[in-house]
Structure 1
Amino acid sequence: MTSPVSITQALVAADLGRQVAHWLASARTFRDAEEFASIGAWRSVERDIGTPLRTQLHKVVEELIALGEGTAALVASARQEASLLPRAAAAVQRFRHRYTQVDTTLDFLGDAVNSRTSPVLAAALTTLDRLAVQSMAPVLQRAGKPIPQVLVYQDKGTGASILRAGVRLWAPGAVMPVAAIKIVRHNLYRPTSLFHEVGHQVAFLTGWVEALRASLAKALADDKELQAMWTPWASEIAADVFAFLHTGYASVAALYDVVGDARTILRWPVGDPHPVGWLRTLLGCQFSRSCFGAEGPWNALQNAMEAHFPAARADATLQPLLLRSKAAMPRIAAACFATKIPALGDRPMSEVIDPARVSPAGLADLERRAGAALWTSAHWRDAEGIRIVALAGLREAERPETATLWIDRARAWLRDVPIAA
């Protein structure tokens, strides 16, 4: 037996119908991918990146619309049967909430695709897409893992970030089909941070973080305070190692440009997964000494940082930890390079990616062998793209008087514009 609908209940049911009609009509606009990214931007994304993205977006949009249509049907029934009103009201709220989740997902992905605002910027970001995949290939092939595609997008700020392939998105059931990496404007043409973010993806797929955490704990077993300080930073340290192995000292200088903020470089915020900026820079300089030799521009960088930001400026409780960490830096760096990674057959990452390839001597040899063709040849672009990024970053860092020249050269190369030698 049906329950009669009172005037008040009829008003409520009618308003629920109005609400669901609004949200459903808006949800249907999501079927047009150009609602959140231009057709030109979508065309600039290569097929093996754009197709899985469009497939995932289509899935979540159609699921949203199906939920809305089911909600609309329930509301229509509630207009005739008063007992259904509570269910209908709850369904409308659920649909509204799902709409917001899908909207957030589409907005993020749309903004990422739409950051390719011009052909030249699209060309640069496409180059970075390919370099990111190339950097993963030797490791993940050895580990027997699939190699995710990468969508690089430009955004504001000082630091890069990653939304890893395989993570759940805001919309229920939506999984990120590719890795989305944010590259910030000031580092677009010195993109060493790209490899830091790729390092997070690789670490997740290989079990590197847990292994590195254990390695750091062992290296610092004689100092429980340092051990407790350093082991939670294993994820960010692994990513720094990955960036260093691919781009050498350029990654250290670029990192310092990000962390060298007087307000934060000597601070240790509670829960921050990143090492204190001062220590992170020291570790990068130690990586350089360990792999490339005692002498090099890394010493000047470290000395300048310590002169500008002496440990004595840190909070009194942090100072002794900074100084003891500095003394332990050679063994911390050694632990990073010696960590046995389960997915690599207990081989360290430094055996799979040889740091000597991006030493100053190794990069100078590449520059010598390739000559002017290094910056114009499709062969060198395909064969040595990552090392070309490392070389440009190294030259910019060690020759500040010609930094503009090297930025312009890297910019032209990334955008595939021929330049004079």
Structure 2
Amino acid sequence: MSATLAVAAHRVVVDDLERQLAHWLAAASSFADAEEFASPSAWRSVEDEAGLPLRRMLGQLVDELVRQAGLARAVIRSARSDPALVQAAAAAVQQLRRSYTQVETTLEFFGDAVNSRTSVPLGNALRTLDRLATASMRSVLAPVGLRVPPTLTYVDKGLGASILRAGIRLWSPGSVNPVAAIKVVRHNLYRPTSLFHETGHQVAAMTGWVPALRDALSSELVDAPQLASVWSGWASEIAADVFAFAHTGYASISALYDVVGDERAIFRWPIGDPHPIGWLRTRLGVELCRDAWGPGPWDALDAAVVESYPVASAGGALTEVLQGSAARLPRIARACQSTRIPGLGGRPIGSLLPAARVSPSALADLEREAGPALWSSASLREREGIRIVALAGLREAEQPQFAADWAARARNWFHGVAVAG
């Protein structure tokens, strides 16, 4: 190639790199406005404790992306006069492309989460869920001096809730999630016992609960090594279920069954799935109730599960796992309740969240003593919000003929509408 052609080719490549850079920099610059991703009203509905660190983190990601673009521009400019730097300039542009995608993924996730607050009533409901979620974690983390992460809840489709835990690495290199971002599914938006399952995951990660529970289950099932291996593998989801139970009692069990009680999936056991088999998971919840309070409405649920899905219909080796586990469920439930959690000073969860607080009799006392104010008082909402969720869920489960009324009452309460008792 002649010198003239080489110079021309060099100029074409560098010009194109500069063009690419201009595109990605312009796209990155649009990220600077958080309202590109969520409406102003949606952002206003987010608690300051979550919104401020979240916007700060997102701003830092954008600043770093723009800084990276500036470095790439400098290399491109140097490459104009030094052909040996063209390869480095091309690599800088490629890295900028990848970084843009990672930042975009992070911003879109949180923007979609915030923007799910599509109306004032829904914004009020999610704001209440933010506060309830944070309160559930504060009840166990604050007494032992652990920082309580702020919460951002959002609504989405599907059957089950999920969490992107505070403190984990995000898609963008170097970015750490500043909030517990919890998806609440629409069918359980106003019966959100699963919210406390998800905050249970956050608490478990911060306190060493899962390894402790894994050891407790292995020890309790030492007489059945295969079952010990199975149950210890489910420890992370069981700990979260126990946390939800500790906060909302039987309501969490009946709501759980509505999620897992799919005839196509209740015996499903995918390889590596951390969730217990739905049939066992529901019945373990029943045993938690029995262990705490003896007989109750959960017995009818247990009978319905066994009648609707006879264990023999599971077939093969799965039947043996179900039968062997069912015979040991009372022991497993006690092990779950008595596990000493390292981050809680070696105390079991019940020492900080006594099951008696959410027993049917205790919730009935709350309902009677508060009267109509239970559904309208701002101070009761603040002080007893989690138990109000537990009460509404309990009544909906106990009184199916009035379930629609209880669901409507809970919906109005979450929207901030005063309702009659």
- Quickly name the TM-score band, shorter chain normalised: over 0.9
Distance, in Å, in 1 between the alignment partners of 2:312 and 2:12 is 69
- In structure 2, what is the equivalent of residue 77 of structure 1? 78
- In structure 1, what is the equivalent of residue 397 of structure 2? 397
Distance, in Å, in 2 between the alignment partners of 1:419 and 1:361 is 23
- In structure 1, what is the equivalent of residue 331 of structure 2? 331
- In structure 2, what is the equivalent of residue 302 of structure 1? 302
Distance, in Å, in 1 between the alignment partners of 2:273 and 2:332 is 19
SS state at 1:177 partner: coil
Letter of the 1:201 partner, please give it. Q
Cα–Cα, structure 1 residues 310 and 298, in superposed 2: closer, same or farther, change >3 Å? same
Aligned-residue sequence identity (percent) comes to 59
Distance, in Å, in 2 between the alignment partners of 1:22 and 1:277 is 50
- In structure 1, what is the equivalent of residue 127 of structure 2? 126
Distance, in Å, in 2 between the alignment partners of 1:292 and 1:382 is 27
Distance, in Å, in 1 between the alignment partners of 2:125 and 2:410 is 10
Letter of the 2:257 partner, please give it. Y
Moved more, 19-28 or 43-52: 43-52
Q: Does the Cα contact within 8 Å between 2:47 and 2:130 map onto a contact in 1?
A: no
Cα–Cα, structure 1 residues 315 and 74, in superposed 2: closer, same or farther, change >3 Å? farther
- In structure 2, what is the equivalent of residue 149 of structure 1? 150
Q: Residues 10-89 of structure 1 correspond to what in structure 2 (within 5 A)? A: 10-89=11-90
Letter of the 2:328 partner, please give it. A
Distance, in Å, in 2 between the alignment partners of 1:345 and 1:104 is 38
Letter of the 2:11 partner, please give it. A
TM superposition shift of 1:4: 9.5
- In structure 2, what is the equivalent of residue 313 of structure 1? 313
The alignment's C-alpha RMSD in Å is 1.4
SS state at 1:151 partner: strand
Q: Residues 156-305 of structure 1 correspond to what in structure 2 (within 5 A)? A: 156-293=157-294, 295-305=295-305
Q: Does the Cα contact within 8 Å between 1:4 and 1:82 map onto a contact in 2?
A: no
SS state at 2:316 partner: coil
- In structure 1, what is the equivalent of residue 365 of structure 2? 365
SS state at 2:154 partner: strand
Q: TM-score, normalised by structure 1?
A: 0.97
TM superposition shift of 1:81: 1.9
SS state at 1:176 partner: coil
Whether 1:342 aligns to 2:342 is yes
- In structure 2, what is the equivalent of residue 414 of structure 1? 414
SS state at 1:318 partner: helix
Gapped runs of 5+ residues in structure 2? none
Q: Does the Cα contact within 8 Å between 1:125 and 1:152 map onto a contact in 2?
A: yes
Moved more, 136-145 or 58-67: 136-145
TM superposition shift of 1:6: 3.0
- In structure 2, what is the equivalent of residue 374 of structure 1? 374
1:304-334 Cα distance to aligned partner (Å, 9 max, x none): 1122111222241111010000000000000
Moved more, 173-182 or 71-80: 71-80
SS state at 2:340 partner: coil
Distance, in Å, in 2 between the alignment partners of 1:132 and 1:270 is 31
Letter of the 2:57 partner, please give it. Q
Cα–Cα, structure 1 residues 78 and 315, in superposed 2: closer, same or farther, change >3 Å? farther
Distance, in Å, in 1 between the alignment partners of 2:185 and 2:236 is 21
TM superposition shift of 1:5: 4.9
- In structure 1, what is the equivalent of residue 115 of structure 2? 114
1:114-141 Cα distance to aligned partner (Å, 9 max, x none): 1111111111111111111111112112
Q: Does the Cα contact within 8 Å between 2:160 and 2:259 map onto a contact in 1?
A: yes
Q: TM-score, normalised by structure 2?
A: 0.97
